[in-house]
Amino acid sequence: MSLFSCSPRSIIFLGCASRPSKFIMACLYSNNSKINTHITSYEIKDKIALYKITVQVGEVCWSLSHRYSDFVELNDKLVKDHSLNKDLLPPKKVLRNLDPTFLEKRKTDLEIYLQNVVNFLEKSLPRCLIDFLHLVKYDINILLQDFASFCFNEGDKYLSMGNSTHAFNPLQLYAITNRLKQECPAEESLHQEHDFCHILEFCNNLRTLIIQGSPSHIGTSNITYNQLSYELAMFKKLCKLFLYNVDINNVTNLGTLRNELEKLTVCKSSNIKSPCDILLCDQVHKTINPDLIWTQLTQLDLSANEITHLDEAMSLVPHLEELNLESNQIKTISNLKSLTKLKRLNLNRNRIQDLSHFKSELNSESIVELNLCENLITNLNGLDGMENLQSLDLGSNFISDLSEISNISCLDQLTNINLTGNPIATIIDYRIKILQLFFKRANQIILDSEKPTSKEIDCTNILNALLVNVQFSD
């Protein structure tokens, strides 16, 4: 569950299109940026004129739309609470208020009004103006003040209820990261609940972190999620980390979690070509070093990336028990021999053809579950040494020869087999012929998610008895 969905208002964080050292983000307090506003056009919807407003702070710009009544509401609040001249707003017109000539003039007049209001109140920035201009979605300190208030008022209660799993997007983490580099804004020192320390304390107590990235633009702005850099050093007690569709090159200080994480998931990241890109993502030279071992990691999910090969970085996860490499571009496995505790290996949806190297590159004695579904496999040579294998998924490959089953029928612990989607599955009496190859163990085999029927067991027993008689006669 995302923390920010629980706050009083929707909290979104935003930066700019470049890296932090190269741009000024939307932060009025630290950048002393001017708020530039323009009304660029209008459109009529359901007989109501909507005025399109563009807002720019530094390099960040976004757009929004307001009807005339929104301006009236804003003006009333500013007149009442901030001594704004009530006659500054263009007057309302009852008749012919959708006339193009009138709307063009009103657009110009409203732009002048808005610019005057911003110039007059830019230093104090009343909340009604912040909301009107959607600054709440883009200014780092305004956003973090809301988050700090939530942490101060509800954070302890939220965590005490067992809610230690929270989802963030790169915007939110970018805002926290950049706030760490700033001086304390005056607003924070005046209000205890806005203290940034409340955010840091909350993050420090999280156990599971989910980061959901995206290559798309953020709202109507000129910024995309995956252009924003952020660090993870503020999360000091994490056990599980999930990174979905993020640019791993923009994540810093991931290495600080090497002695904490028990589970790491990195999915749909286009710039991960090998495990090294994630396990050594904070190392410039990508050099294997015993000091860089992930000491607690037992589950690693690198599915749905663009991994082409398994490099020596796999030696940095010696305690791994589960490895998910589904939906990559792997043609052959390598560098898995050191994973002596590996029990479950998922290689579904890759480009594997040859299994003969499994004996030399995989600790075959530890594997109990192996998924090779949707590859390019034609023969099973190389699986015969996996003596502790219990479950094997070979669905949707190109196995056509019954004799290949002899490579796995010798595995005494194997009980669960999937061969659906292979040419072999189209052979007449396919199930009986497969089960027959397991001899006395035929009744223990779950083939294609189905236990053998009593009729199938009877048929395999008769066929095996006949086979024994033939061999005896010879």
| pLDDT band at 286; cut points 50, 70, 90 | confident
Question: What is the spatial distance between Cα 265 and Cα 210, in angstroms, rounded to a whole number?
Answer: 9
Question: What is the spatial distance between Cα 32 and Cα 354, in angstroms, rounded to a whole number?
Answer: 62
Least confident of 124-138, 145-159, 398-412: 145-159
pLDDT at 15 over 60: no
Q: Which of 313-335 are b and which e, b meaning 16 or more Cβ less than 10 Å from the residue's Cβ?
A: bbbbbebbbbbbbbbbebebbeb
CB count within 10 Å of CB 243 equals 24
Average pLDDT of span 171-195: 80
- Taken in order of first residue, the domains within the chain and their CATH numbers are 28-137 (3.30.1520.10), 364-473 (3.80.10.10)
pLDDT at 71 over 90: yes
Stated pTM of the model: 0.86
The count of residues in the chain is: 474
Contact 313, 275 (CB under 8 A): yes
Measure the CA angle with vertex 339, ends 335 and 340; round to 5°: 135
Where do the H-state alpha helices sit in 83-155?
100-121, 127-132, 140-150
Spacing of C-alpha 3 from chain mean position: 16
β-strands 263-267, 299-301 pairing: parallel
- The residue among 19 and 206 whose pLDDT is bigger is 206
Q: What is the DSSP letter of 221?
A: S
CB count within 10 Å of CB 181 equals 8
Q: Phi/psi of residue 267, each to 5°?
A: -125, 145
Contact 255, 282 (CB under 8 A): yes
Average pLDDT of span 425-449: 94
Measure the CA angle with vertex 249, ends 227 and 332; round to 5°: 130
Average pLDDT of span 220-245: 93
Contact 136, 142 (CB under 8 A): yes
pLDDT at 45 over 90: yes
pLDDT at 153 over 60: yes
